[in-house]
Amino acid sequence: MKQAAIAESQPFLDGRVCRSLWRPLQNAGTLDRRYPRVLSRLPTYSYRGMNQIMTAPAAKLSISLPASLAKAVRKRVGGRGLSGFFAQAAAHELERQQLGAFITELTQLNGPPSKAAVAAARRAWPKR
């Protein structure tokens, strides 16, 4: 009862409070059955933003693309996965173009990266 009261009165639980909830259950050997119930009391709004993309208002667009490409995409993701597929592709390409513009901006400001730094980067990140 005491643990339940703590869980309901604390908007956010730190590690110490979580352990105080969890340990008595572990000691009593009832962890497997009751641990999910303790976790369900944790405030889920601490993860706000996790599903931001999914809950954002959607805009309908009509786009044209080569028939062969459309067929290949439909085959890959099915009819119901099209919006998600194109949203992900658009987000990736937009990020890539923004990153390219930022790199150009930094290069104009400070010059290109040195050959030594580029070589070190390539050594650290070998191609898969």
Q: Note the residues at the interface with other proteins (CB under 8 A).
A: 15, 47, 49-50, 52, 92, 94-103, 106-107, 109-110, 112-114, 117-118, 120-122, 124-128
CB of 62 to other proteins, least distance (A): 26
Q: Is 21 exposed, middle or buried (0-12, 13-18, 19+ CB in 10 A)?
A: buried
CB of 7 to other proteins, least distance (A): 16
Question: Are 76 and 63 within 8 A, CB to CB?
Answer: no
Nearer to other proteins (CB atom), residue 81 or residue 100 = 100
Nearer to other proteins (CB atom), residue 57 or residue 126 = 126
CB of 50 to other proteins, least distance (A): 5
DSSP 12-70: S--HHHHHHHHHHHHHTT-HHHHHHHHHHTS-GGGGTTTTHHHHSPP--------HHHH
Question: Are 77 and 85 within 8 A, CB to CB?
Answer: yes
CB of 92 to other proteins, least distance (A): 7
Nearer to other proteins (CB atom), residue 5 or residue 126 = 126
Nearer to other proteins (CB atom), residue 30 or residue 98 = 98
Tokens standing for 29? 């050997």
